[in-house]
Amino acid sequence: MAEPRILKAPVGDVRRGLTIDTPTGPFTLIERDGAIVGAHWLGEGGQDETPLLVEAARQVAAYFDDPGAGFDLPLRIEASPAQQAACAAMQAIPLGETRTYGTLAKALGVSAQAMGQLCGGNPIPLIVPCHRVLGAGGRLTGYSGGAGVETKLALLRHEGGGGFLI
């Protein structure tokens, strides 16, 4: 039987996480080298209280108090050029508005299905607002965060986007 290989992260490749409670469930922010590189609703992360993670947590809490608060954080999308372009397109969607996968796909020169995969691969959901991307005709489609489509709908209602006001 072969010895197990232990893979070590490169020096300087230290990720730190901070999990906070939000109205949509436990939300983890991930930092590496002075930038937010990830976020998720998986309920696992850490309690690293670096200055950046504490500020990011403050901004997430402020967003849930008032979605107009917005986010002003250093982000780094550690992904393919296509994923980076998709994230930039999602970040350009104004608060309270939505776009369709098809509209963004056309702008990026990819298929709507590819755009759906790119949205699903967003490493920093909520802060990079993939929840503002809808299916054809404004259909509410999948969401990889939290409770899936229910979380997407809750975020859209919170923002008053896409006619999802309560």
Instruction: Tell me, yes or no, whether 75 lies in a domain.
Output: no
Instruction: Tell me, yes or no, whether 10 lies in a domain.
Output: no
User: Is 80's pLDDT higher than 60?
Assistant: yes
My answer on whether 103 and 141 are in the same domain is: yes
User: Is 7's pLDDT higher than 80?
Assistant: no
Per-residue DSSP letters for 19-33? EE--TTS-EEEEEET
Mean pLDDT in residue range 135-157: 90
My answer on whether 95 and 63 are in the same domain is: no
My answer on whether 155 and 105 are in the same domain is: yes
My answer on whether 111 and 44 are in the same domain is: no
Q: What is the mean pLDDT of the chain?
A: 89
Instruction: Tell me, yes or no, whether 63 lies in a domain.
Output: yes
Dist CA 34 CA 47 (whole Å): 16
Residue 125: the pLDDT is 97
Give the C-alpha distances (Å, rounded to integers) separating 126 from 12, 27, 45, 157: 26, 10, 16, 13
Catalytic residue among 57, 130, 133, 134: 130
Q: Which range of residues forms the domain containing residue 24?
A: 15-69
> For residue 9, what pLDDT band results from cuts at 50, 70 and 90?
very low
Percent of the residues in the chain that have a pLDDT greater than 90, as a whole number: 77
Mean pLDDT in residue range 1-9: 38
Residue 144: the pLDDT is 83
Tens-place pLDDT, residues 11-61 = 456 899 999 999 999 999 999 999 999 999 987 778 899 999 999 999 999
Q: How many domains is the chain partitioned into structurally?
A: 2
Mean pLDDT in residue range 60-88: 96
Collapsing DSSP to helix, strand or coil, 113 comes out as: helix
Mean pLDDT in residue range 120-149: 93
Instruction: Tell me, yes or no, whether 165 lies in a domain.
Output: no
Dist CA 39 CA 125 (whole Å): 6
Residue 145: the pLDDT is 84
Instruction: Tell me, yes or no, whether 3 lies in a domain.
Output: no
CATH of residue 115's domain is: 1.10.10.10
My answer on whether 36 and 99 are in the same domain is: no
What is the model's pTM? 0.88
Domain boundary among 69, 97, 114: 69
Mean pLDDT in residue range 76-85: 96
Please indicate whether residue 119 is annotated as part of the active site.
no
Are the CB atoms for 156 and 143 separated by under 8 Å?
Answer: no
Instruction: Tell me, yes or no, whether 19 lies in a domain.
Output: yes
